[in-house]
Amino acid sequence: VLRVNRITPHMQRITLEGAGLRDFSIEDPAQWVKVILAPDSDGRSPNRAYTVRRFDPSQGVMEIDFALHRDGGPLSRWAAAATIGDMVEIAGPRAGHRVNPAVASYLLVGDPTSLPAIGAILEALPASITAQVFIEVANSEEEQPLVSAARLELCWLHSHTEAPGTTGQLELTIQSSALDLENCQVFLAGESLMVRAVRTYLLAERALDPSRVDSKGYWKFGAADHRD
Ligand SMILES: Cc1cc2nc3c(=O)[nH]c(=O)nc-3n(C[C@H](O)[C@H](O)[C@H](O)COP(=O)(O)OP(=O)(O)OC[C@H]3O[C@@H](n4cnc5c(N)ncnc54)[C@H](O)[C@@H]3O)c2cc1C
């Protein structure tokens, strides 16, 4: 661990440095790695998937944004307490989202776990695209500045005391918004049931082509180490 920055009250940006990172090849936004902790007292090494927010291969430096959640599993707890010099293992990288520059618009939907992916995708979009962005966070303090050459239409939703991604607001807002889905690419990630509901709506009710809906459940309410 090279640096630790609390970018919002519940988001810890951790900058990792390691000679092995120089060999990583990151080409697309939303590529992800496994962050592996040192073995616990049972000899198990907790590991979870995290998105590469930024990467500098020449320096072997990688930024990861950890959502700090109330049900604090091992990775959230580790991130909350991380200090400079701590050691983790990184495995990967795995595939992310290949930006489609030919579309007219992007629809990006998620919760704090997909903010790093959405932030990186937005930074990669060209100015010709309109980006419709719907993100649920706990409150206004968790809203992050998002930068893009694309024309941004941002909608932040607040979950207040509930876990962002679990309130049903994203599903309802997507269904009641005047979305422009003509020649549109979707990126949708976050809590698994929310992702499934929004995906089903877009495919079944709005007849989107499945090839235009890049979606993944990143975590599941009540389930540790969920794999979609
Ligand atoms: C491809 C991919 C990329 C991801 N990128 C990121 C990323 O960049 N940043 C990030 O923060 N997360 C990211 N995630 C999600 C992250 O891997 C999970 O949230 C993971 O479960 C956290 O591990 P943990 O040890 O903290 O909790 P776990 O031990 O897995 O779970 C313990 C408890 O906490 C709950 N829980 C887990 N995550 C959350 C949450 N976000 N909010 C509320 N409750 C939760 C579980 O339901 C469970 O009840 C990504 C997941 C995938 C698959």
Angstrom distance (rounded) from CA 50 to CA 218: 9
Going by pLDDT thresholds of 50, 70 and 90, the confidence category of residue 72 is: confident
Instruction: Decide if pLDDT at 91 tops 90.
Output: yes
Share of the chain above pLDDT 90, in %: 96
**What local confidence, expressed as pLDDT, does residue 228 receive?**
85
165 CA closest ligand 1 atom index: 42
Kindly provide the residue ranges of all beta strands, DSSP E only, lying in the chain, ordered along the sequence. Answer: 3-8, 11-17, 32-36, 47-51, 54-56, 61-67, 89-94, 105-110, 130-137, 151-158, 184-191, 213-219
- DSSP letter assigned to residue 220: B
| Probe target for ligand 1 pocket from 8, 88, 113, 160, with the most ligand atoms within 8 Å of CB | 113
Q: Name which residue sits closest to atom 40 of ligand 1, judged by CA.
A: 69
> Can you give the pLDDT at residue 222?
95
Q: What is the pLDDT of residues 112-147, one digit of tens each?
A: 999 999 999 999 999 999 999 999 999 999 999 999
Residue 48 CA: which ligand 1 atom is closest? 17
8 A C-beta contact, residue 172 and residue 198: no
CB within 8 Å of 39: residues ≥ 6 apart:
45
Q: Which of 105, 141, 145, 140 is nearest to 125 (CA)?
A: 105
pLDDT, tens only, 148-192: 999 999 999 999 999 999 999 999 999 999 999 999 999 999 999
Residue with the smallest CA separation from ligand 1 atom 27 is 73
* 109 CA to centre of ligand 1 in angstroms: 17
Q: How far is the CA of 179 from the centre of ligand 1 (A)?
A: 29
DSSP helix/strand/coil, 159: coil
Q: In the chain, what is the straight-line distance between the N-terminal and C-terminal CA atoms, in Å?
A: 29
The answer to whether the beta carbons of residues 85 and 73 sit under 8 Å apart is no
Q: What's the chain's average pLDDT?
A: 97
Cβ atoms of 89 and 33 within 8 Å: the answer is no
Q: Write the residue with the smallest CA distance to atom 4 of ligand 1.
A: 50
Q: Report the C-alpha gap between 100 and 114 in whole angstroms.
A: 19
CB atoms within 10 A of CB 1: 15
The string of pLDDT tens digits covering residues 13-56 is 999 999 999 999 999 999 999 999 999 888 999 999 999 999 99
Q: Quick one: CA torsion of 24, 27, 28, 31, rounded to 10 degrees?
A: -10
Give distance in angstroms: CA of 218 to centre of ligand 1.
7
Residues with CB under 6 A from ligand 1: 32, 48-51, 65-67, 69, 71, 73-76, 113, 116, 163, 216, 218-225
pLDDT for the residue numbered 170:
98
Give the span between the Cα atoms of 228 and 219, in whole angstroms: 8
Q: Would you say residue 65 has pLDDT above 90?
A: yes
Among 69, 78, 159, residue to substitute to test ligand 1 (most atoms within 8 Å of Cβ): 69
